Amino acid sequence: METPTNELEVVKSSDLKPKPVGDQVPFGTVFTDHIFTMDYETGKGWHSPKIVPYGPISLDPAAMIFHYGQTVFEGLKAYHTEDGRVLLFRPEENFKRLNLSSDRLSIPPIDEEQMLEYLTKLVELEKDWVPQTPGTSLYIRPFIISTEPNLAVGPSQTYKLMILLSPVGSYFPGGLQPVIIHVEDQFTRAVKGGTGMAKTAGNYSAGYQAQANAKKAGNADVLWLDGVEKKYIEEVGSMNIFFKINGEVVTPALNGSILKGITRMSVIELLKSWDVPVSERKISIDEIYQAYEDGLVEEIFGTGTAAVISPVGELNWKGQKMIVNNHEIGELSQKIYDTITGVQYGRVEDSFGWTVEVN
Amino acid sequence: METPTNELEVVKSSDLKPKPVGDQVPFGTVFTDHIFTMDYETGKGWHSPKIVPYGPISLDPAAMIFHYGQTVFEGLKAYHTEDGRVLLFRPEENFKRLNLSSDRLSIPPIDEEQMLEYLTKLVELEKDWVPQTPGTSLYIRPFIISTEPNLAVGPSQTYKLMILLSPVGSYFPGGLQPVIIHVEDQFTRAVKGGTGMAKTAGNYSAGYQAQANAKKAGNADVLWLDGVEKKYIEEVGSMNIFFKINGEVVTPALNGSILKGITRMSVIELLKSWDVPVSERKISIDEIYQAYEDGLVEEIFGTGTAAVISPVGELNWKGQKMIVNNHEIGELSQKIYDTITGVQYGRVEDSFGWTVEVN
Ligand SMILES: Cc1ncc(COP(=O)(O)O)c(C=O)c1O
Ligand SMILES: Cc1ncc(COP(=O)(O)O)c(C=O)c1O
């Protein structure tokens, strides 16, 4: 890959927007004054990195993103510490995963280190947008879209990478709230050999029908089962899932159809450091219900950038209700939550080297 | 669904483009002077149908299409007859299928009859763009994208429907050319409960890696197997597939993971009218190879709007080569091709009522 024009160009907005007050911003609806953009063209490579004022982008209606969905994205956050620093949580892992997703979607890779530099510069410029109310953060959305105007099915010759920043309120303003989850046995999110391990647009809208049905029935989201046998547990909408059974923590192994969550990875590292037994393996939904019958299911929780830890208070599968820990947050879930958010907000020592400070 | 402003507004371009000369236009790269657009907003329904000059569209970088892939599309063609008429081939079926796809992707339905009227008006205006060289046509691409600027995962509150027109050369300029197809046993396109039966963007880029591998090995495209057992035949990249075995024609049944092709439907109707035995059922790849060993595989062909009929001269599966009809087009394939293209170009009587004339 050639790197012709890699000098970052910064065009500042002359018309700064008012920042939202307090904690009541709905997720993903307010954006900062600037975005990062970078272009790709076959033969030229990624070029023209820019920080420019937030504003509409102009695309040919034949741009491939609209027709064949060749696109990938990431999601991470910047946190404001009490002593006034701004921290990113394992951002290098997000750019690594972006490249994994791009590989699956036949999108050219980016230079991960350089992207981290660009991101740091963008967050630095928008530092005042990182909210300071406890539990709030600045959500960061890098994404790549295919832009060549061409209706022939096949990889695009041009791409645009962008990074959007969006201040978000606390996920659990009233403290951790266990959620009710529907175990989906009709619709499928992903299957071996498909795109499930990639963070790509089509995987998400594929879940809307199942999620709408689940919500109608009073559930917050769905737990996906494998697409082959509808038997093995995969993940929740935008979270990986963990079970604490009889003192041991288990989570589905990375099998090609679930996302390699960065929170998941961090939880596993944390549990190992605490000598809590944890394993990644195939887990059938029957096994979980059997363990429940036997009184061994102690805690269930989802993990993801949005909530960090989202305790599951109830699972519903084919009319069978499983009430977990009396709809209350478990001790281990709370401890993991406190530790990871502690590191993110600079209250707990970062002994793993997870955070990157923005100057 | 309310229908507030349904009066079609037409804004003509003052700067008409030169039309491509002859038959050498690469598919999907040249577009006509005008496009059709229509907007949707929750509470307001589909509104503001417009024919406007072709040009870039402006979207918020947070528009949902870029992040969660909520989008559907269609593909059909307009044909120029020798006596100077312009015909559409079963366009009502495309709008019906668009609504089926939209249902799967949680996109609000369109009024099929009204859309056909709008399309007819657009093609009428662009009549001079329908190429006249034998075998050429005007490709029509209706599509809907989700446009709400919101990073929360879930259905958009706003959408844009567009129709693009693109003159295309003959698919087989030198006569029907049998193709070599790789039977894919690693990657998966779709699975039961997924989005395989919908014409939605993510299904297509999901196939790029497999298609690139197949092309490197000298194949034109891949034949997908089912995502569960990798055993049952599904379809080719943008075509359904038919086998003539021992005098009987078979094609995979509509099982939820393959597209309900309009050419497929037409071929089945045609074969029935000719009293050729035809059945839609589960077909395993082993069955096909066994029939081949037994000398019973007479013809294989793909069906789709692009090529109408694309004879398959060779199948490659796990290192086993199957040579079909000595790499030559079969008699039945040729007859179907001649009949359907005959109807499309007005050379053969349209006894099925498949064509719609544009005035
Ligand atoms: C499908 C899916 N699974 C799991 C996760 C959790 O990943 P992470 O912990 O990196 O946020 C996400 C995303 O954010 C996701 O979209
Ligand atoms: C996946 C897929 N299968 C089959 C077909 C054939 O359908 P039709 O005959 O309606 O063109 C197409 C498309 O055009 C397609 O995209």
pLDDT in tens, B101-157: 999 999 999 999 999 999 999 999 999 999 998 899 999 999 999 999 999 999 999
Question: Could you tell me the distance, in angstroms and rounded to a whole number, from the CA of residue A112 to the centre of ligand 1?
Answer: 19
| Domain spanning A9-168, CATH architecture | 2-Layer Sandwich (3.30)
The answer to whether residue A2 scores a pLDDT higher than 60 is no
A225 lines ligand 1 (CB under 6 A): no
The answer to whether residue B1 scores a pLDDT higher than 50 is no
Query: Do A354 and A84 meet the contact criterion of CB atoms below 8 Å apart?
Result: no
Among all ligands shown, which has an atom nearest to the Cα of B267?
2
* pTM, two decimal places: 0.97
Angle between helices A331-344 and A262-273 (to 10 degrees): 110
CA distances from residue A42 to A90, A159, A192, B132, B198 in whole angstroms, order as listed: 30, 9, 30, 34, 31
Instruction: Say whether B28 and A150 touch across the interface (CB within 8 A).
Output: yes
A170-179 per-residue burial string, b: 16 or more CB within 10 A, e: under 16: bbbeeebebb
Residue A128 token pair: 């005042």
Task: Summarize the confidence of residues B58-83 as an average pLDDT.
Answer: 98
The answer to whether residue B2 scores a pLDDT higher than 60 is no
Tokens 């693109």 sit on residue: B166
ipTM over 0.90: yes
B174 touches chain A (CB under 8 A): no
A159 touches chain B (CB under 8 A): no
How far is residue A122 CA from its own chain's centroid? 19
As a dihedral over the C-alpha atoms of residue B254, residue B255, residue B258, residue B262, rounded to 10 degrees, the angle is 20
A239 lines ligand 1 (CB under 6 A): yes
| Domain spanning A179-344, CATH architecture | Alpha-Beta Barrel (3.20)
Q: Where are the domains of chain A?
A: 9-168, 179-344
Name residues contacting ligand 2 (CB within 6 A). Answer: B 75, 235, 238-240, 259, 261-264, 303-305
DSSP conformational letter for B133: S
Among all ligands shown, which has an atom nearest to the Cα of A207?
1
The answer to whether residue A174 scores a pLDDT higher than 80 is no
Per-residue model confidence (pLDDT) at position A5: 64
Per-residue model confidence (pLDDT) at position B21: 80
Query: Do B281 and B245 meet the contact criterion of CB atoms below 8 Å apart?
Result: no
Which of A101, A239, A241, A264 has the most ligand 1 atoms within 8 A of CB, as the residue to mutate?
A239
Nearest CA-CA distance, residue B302 and chain A, Å: 16
Per-residue model confidence (pLDDT) at position B5: 64
Instruction: Say whether B155 and A31 touch across the interface (CB within 8 A).
Output: no
% of chain B surpassing 90 pLDDT: 93
Helix-then-strand count for chain B, H and E: 8, 19
